[in-house]
Structure 1
Amino acid sequence: MGASDRNMILPRIRQLDEGAVNRIAAGEVVERPASAVKELVENALDARATRVTVDIADGGRTLIRVTDDGHGIEAADLPLALSRHATSKIDGSDLLNIHSFGFRGEALASLGAVGRLTVTSRTAGAAEGATIRVSGGRMDPPRPAALRGGTVVELRDLFHATPARLKFLKSERSEGMAVADAIRRLAMAEPAVAFTLRDVSDGGERVLFRADGSDAAGRLALVLGRDFIRNAMPLDAARDGFHLGGHAGLPTFSRGNAVHQYLFVNGRPVRDRMLTGALRGAYSDVLAKDRHAVAALFLTCDPVLVDVNVHPAKTEVRFRDAGLVRGLIVSGLRHALAEAGHRSATTVADAALGAMRPDRPAAPVYQMDRPGPAARAQAYAAQMPGFAEAPSARVEQDFPTQDGPLGAARAQLHENWIVAQTADGIVIVDQHAAHERLVYERLKAQMRDRGIAAQTLLIPEVIEVGAQADRLLSLDLSRLGLAIEAFGPGTIAVRETPAILGAVSAADLIRGILEELEDEEDGDPLSLQSKVDAILSRMACHGSVRSGRRMSGPEMNALLREMEATPNSGQCNHGRPTHVTLRLSDIERLFGRT
């Protein structure tokens, strides 16, 4: 060691002052205005407020004001409420048995460290209210204030004490949208509480969100729209102390991103990768990979079964048995999807009607009542003798009457579209998409029961697959109804194919399987069952009724009846709708009929 090293002055360890500690802590708790709003509204909810009003200006940068009618804070406790790690929600003896939103006692101290914070409160029975102010960590003594009841927390100039953080904020519009999203999530968690969010920038007052107290379904309809409730499945599943409730949208009600997925654990809004992964896994069978389900899932359990103290913002959780929770979500959602049967989203029909509607709809005109079948037959007989009997006989022979939800087949258009008549409208079915789902479900059922029955090819089909030959040969495809063997370098011979697929191109089948294996390598690894299902889906696509095939009346009706009895038949394997239902009243409006 040289002389310069021996003479080097070592840095001394020292205690940071309270202001620096609070600013560091604030960086973890308060990332943006939406974080501050979330913490303050959660405090209001913990105070048992029934009405919460939030005012923001400039996206929350210059003003955040939260007013509630909760039980308030005693005047003598105000200085303590603004100090770190002071809370009335827990006593510190048990950090797992948490029944409140907040429990760390950090929010107010953190906000006071990075902004100008004023808290005014009055408890029931108090002679007057009290207010206290803190700016950049410096606290003034409390003083009397006029307030009818509850608490008003006003935060001005967020991050004025840490101006570098301002550079990381997004535009005023983006920050305001994040605030609105935080409010919507808390409003869904507490449907009985009334919420109002207002933008008061430049002295104005614009209501961004308002929700009066209601039940859970009413609140979901308000936040996610009534279309969601009409096209969602109620959830009610339980397992070993956990309960899954809420609503999940039909696969055909999906979206191009995951922003409409809301997850709650014991009433707390969370963003948890394990939970979102379980949601994605539950829909993997019915959605394309670039589509996302719309859902509001509420998971409840004994608080000791979940740790909410794993993230500064309390948005992530850790379950004692994560596998149990994932299994409950996947099985609960898949059961609901199976119960939905052939349902397809009403928005599909709305989009179809919108596409057909003229730019300038004609004014409705009076139309006489539609005559009954007997009256129509008499009119036809009078107008063209012998005509009525011929069509009637043909319809009875080729298109028997059916009372099922999807009606009776009446025609096939362009060798792909089946048109069926129901009691109050028509159904248009994509025969390829529908049969693809039916074949897929049959394959899965066979796989579960005894393995897929195979048919031996008269002449084995030789296929060049290059470097993928070894990988294919290493897979056990016999349970999938496929028998392959090596046939030289980079080449395989297919000797058996699934019997359910009939005459199918073995080469196309093998290429589809290889594509699924490539998708597994490029994206997230699939579980074994998911991998098998993906391969079966590809097989079903190759073995289904193709577009361009003419079908007889009995064949079409058989397809409709099987759709009604098959789970998930409202959408094909890729998440596209298999049919569109149009009500007669909507069709009549297209033509201006009343």
Structure 2
Amino acid sequence: MTTSFDKSGEHVRASIHRLSDHVVDLIAAGEVVERPAAALKELVENALDAGATRIEVDLWGGGCESIEVTDNGSGIAPDELALAVERHCTSKLNDNQLVHIRTLGFRGEALPSIGASARLSLISRLKGAETAWSITVEGGVKSEPMPSAGEEGTIVIVRDLFFATPARRKFLKSARVEGSHAEMVMRRVALSAPHCAILFRSEGRDVFNLPPQDLKDRVAFILNVPSDSLLTLDEQRGAMRLTGFLCNPGHTRPTGAGQFILVNDRPVIDPVLRTAVRVGYRSVIERGRFPILFLHLHVPFERVDVNVHPAKTELRFADEAEVRAFVIGAIGRVLTRGASQVGGIEADITHFTTQTLPSISTHTRPAHFGVSASASSTPQKKISSSENNKADLGFSPSVRRFPEESVQDLGGFAESQKSYTTPQDSLREELESVEFEQEDYPSQPLGVPIGQIHTTYILSVAPNGDLILTDQHAAHERLTHERLRKRFEEGRISAQVLLLPEVLDLSKSEREALLVCQEELSRLGLEIEAFGEGSLLIRTIPAPLKGGDVTALIRDIAEELIEEGASSARQTDSLDQRFEAIMARMACHGSIRAGRKLNFEEMGALLRDMEQHPRSNTCPHGRPTWLRLTKDALEKMFGRVK
């Protein structure tokens, strides 16, 4: 029994009754079909489940006006068409167990939900059949199946989405915004099925037309990055396996739109995995930027539940902490590559924005010199020689210059600064006589220094003749940061004893979560112990964090341990980010300054050190430490080749 209120505010008893099938369908449609992109996702996944090797999608009005999906899959039998548009009718589950689900769809709700809120037409022809059959559903009212013209496979047409639920239609965004959501869905689908040819049109224009491809080629196209910037990932732990491709840290974006994740071939948007990605990349990219990647996590079917939400983009793992730790570790190991390994930051200067040189007039400059042939006839804005070129490099350009004062003592890390001061012998004669052998390249990919530019950038020649520009401050900052990080990860942090131990009252769950990590926290300089029934006693704090609010830090750590199910305090943002900021500041102040003149031995020692240390391709702030200028780039700049 429920109650309601009349106009006078008095309680009125309302009787319990069964909702009509039409209302039930509309409620279900609201869960499954939130927007046109959700309807498109369900239709394309049905096509893939039917074994399609080619899918064509036409979108109009962002999907609000029309969505048409054509596939060459197995098709639907004429006597099953009526069942296909009934709720909870599916061919994808052969038993009542929702465990070993190998198909993208399985709930039997997509087509009925779409038919309840839109005008749905379904045309399908079995392979080898003489004719196709069709059925229509408008606002939940379906027609009888009838013969129709059609190729082998299935065509699904959705018109006037949400015409039966006008309130829902009012909440849709513009056609452009809805179309962008639909495009993102198609990109995820394209990555999940590289074997399938996919044509996606929007407003009559081809957005992309992809043939069956090798996975790496498909990933490079969808992520819109050069294939040589992709780092291969393939790691296994027990029954879990993680494969995919990571972009090197020089390629980032302002949003997470460049992150695509699959779990057992299913495109997902999972907070556990996104958190793991963020933590894995945190030490190598600039704060506020997002990495670009494609990950495919394979887990035993019984260890993951995909039946969490009707949209099937959210998951629930049996052991979230195990999955998170595995993904963080796998990403970290791939990114832990020095400049001597594949995946270093390489920047082609021809990709940067060029400007009109004062000595070259625009009408005499070749079309391929800085502008395309089609754009060469467009009047160019004259730029003074004092203005700087600007390009969206994916990081914030910055040159740090410091006065020659002593390094600040921030405490906590007893770090012995490596010195590159050597005898001032000139190596010019030796360098001029150096001849590289091809087999030397793997051991010294950053080459031999030949000079210093603006007393900030080291210019070197690689064994293959490429020019390498190294930012001496950024490079040494990374090396210093890595030594500090090693001490942190080994738990060798100096502790500051409190004159008067602090007592902190916590809930039972927070107290227990912290006491489980008591030994680990002690290695990090944070000594705690049980005090009474509901309190903790804080005896020491990490020396680098002295002066901070330690009680707030401990509460934050406890909250993260409970909410995220992390088994290690080291993995919590509260602790890691505080130490990360301290280490970055110490590394910055303790590194070779921009503007300091180096001799050849110092420059060479820095380059060799970079080749041996992990993550030396970017500084702790995510900016590149070195750039490569190839022979092809030089020839393009000088107009020798197009």
Per the TM superposition, whether the score is higher than 0.5 is yes
Deviations 1:29-62 (A, max 9, x none): 0011111110001111111111111112111111
Deviations 1:453-481 (A, max 9, x none): 99xxxxxxxxxxxxxx999xxxx999789
Q: What corresponds to 1:318 in structure 2?
A: 316
Would the aligned equivalents of 1:440 and 1:540 in 2 still touch at CA under 8 Å? yes
The alignment's C-alpha RMSD in Å is 3.6
Would the aligned equivalents of 1:37 and 1:64 in 2 still touch at CA under 8 Å? yes
Please state if 1:99 is matched with 2:102: yes
Q: What corresponds to 2:248 in structure 1?
A: 250
1 CA distance for matches of 2:114 and 2:603? 66
Q: What corresponds to 1:395 in structure 2?
A: 428
Q: What corresponds to 1:267 in structure 2?
A: 265
2:470 to 429, 432, 439: 429
2 CA distance for matches of 1:280 and 1:333? 10
Distance 1:398 1:57, change over 3 A: closer
Q: CA offset at residue 142 of structure 1?
A: 1.0
Matches within 5 A, 1:104-123: 104-123=107-126
Q: What corresponds to 1:346 in structure 2?
A: 346
Deviations 1:176-200 (A, max 9, x none): 111111111101001101111123x
Q: What corresponds to 1:545 in structure 2?
A: 592
Matches within 5 A, 1:387-466: 395-396=428-429, 401=434, 404-423=444-463, 424-448=465-489, 451=492
* Secondary structure of 2:76 counterpart: coil
Q: What corresponds to 1:590 in structure 2?
A: 637
Task: Name which of structure 1's ranges 580-589 and 37-46 shifts more when overlaid on structure 2.
Answer: 580-589
Distance 1:131 1:297, change over 3 A: same
Residue identity in the other structure for 1:256: P
Q: What corresponds to 1:52 in structure 2?
A: 55
1 CA distance for matches of 2:459 and 2:181? 46
Distance 1:106 1:479, change over 3 A: closer
Distance 1:69 1:450, change over 3 A: closer
Residue identity in the other structure for 2:449: A
Q: What corresponds to 1:370 in structure 2?
A: none
Give the gaps of 5 or more residues in structure 2: 1-5, 369-424, 496-501, 505-519, 527-541, 561-571
Identity of aligned residues (%): 40
Would the aligned equivalents of 1:398 and 1:554 in 2 still touch at CA under 8 Å? no
Matches within 5 A, 1:99-498: 99-199=102-202, 201=203, 205-227=204-226, 229-339=227-337, 341=339, 343-347=343-347, 349-351=349-351, 354-355=353-354, 358=357, 360=362, 362-363=365-366, 395-396=428-429, 401=434, 404-423=444-463, 424-448=465-489, 451=492
Residue identity in the other structure for 2:467: I
Q: What corresponds to 1:573 in structure 2?
A: 620
Q: What corresponds to 1:371 in structure 2?
A: none
Residue identity in the other structure for 2:479: L
1 CA distance for matches of 2:197 and 2:113? 27
1 CA distance for matches of 2:466 and 2:133? 66
Would the aligned equivalents of 2:426 and 2:600 in 1 still touch at CA under 8 Å? no
* Secondary structure of 1:569 counterpart: coil
Would the aligned equivalents of 1:572 and 1:578 in 2 still touch at CA under 8 Å? yes
Q: CA offset at residue 150 of structure 1?
A: 0.9
Distance 1:556 1:481, change over 3 A: farther
- The number of equivalent residue pairs is 516
Residue identity in the other structure for 2:281: Y
1:72 to 71, 75, 80: 75
Would the aligned equivalents of 2:339 and 2:445 in 1 still touch at CA under 8 Å? no
1 CA distance for matches of 2:612 and 2:248? 17
Deviations 1:82-110 (A, max 9, x none): 11111110034111211000110000100
Q: What corresponds to 1:32 in structure 2?
A: 35
* Secondary structure of 1:339 counterpart: coil
The structure in which a higher percent of residues are helix is 1
Q: CA offset at residue 146 of structure 1?
A: 1.9
Q: CA offset at residue 407 of structure 1?
A: 1.2
* Secondary structure of 2:91 counterpart: coil
Q: CA offset at residue 446 of structure 1?
A: 4.0
Residue identity in the other structure for 2:429: E
Distance 1:593 1:8, change over 3 A: closer
Give the gaps of 5 or more residues in structure 1: 366-391, 455-468, 483-495, 498-508
* Secondary structure of 1:244 counterpart: strand
Task: Name which of structure 1's ranges 408-417 and 189-198 shifts more when overlaid on structure 2.
Answer: 408-417
Distance 1:13 1:543, change over 3 A: same
Q: What corresponds to 2:568 in structure 1?
A: none
Distance 1:569 1:511, change over 3 A: farther
Residue identity in the other structure for 1:13: I
Greater CA radius of gyration, 1 or 2? 1
TM-score (norm 2): 0.74
2 CA distance for matches of 1:329 and 1:264? 13
Q: What corresponds to 2:535 in structure 1?
A: none
Q: CA offset at residue 548 of structure 1?
A: 2.3
Please state if 1:535 is matched with 2:582: yes
Residue identity in the other structure for 1:550: K
Distance 1:16 1:447, change over 3 A: closer
2 CA distance for matches of 1:344 and 1:513? 37
Residue identity in the other structure for 1:104: R
Q: What corresponds to 2:45 in structure 1?
A: 42
1 CA distance for matches of 2:102 and 2:288? 37
Would the aligned equivalents of 1:116 and 1:157 in 2 still touch at CA under 8 Å? yes
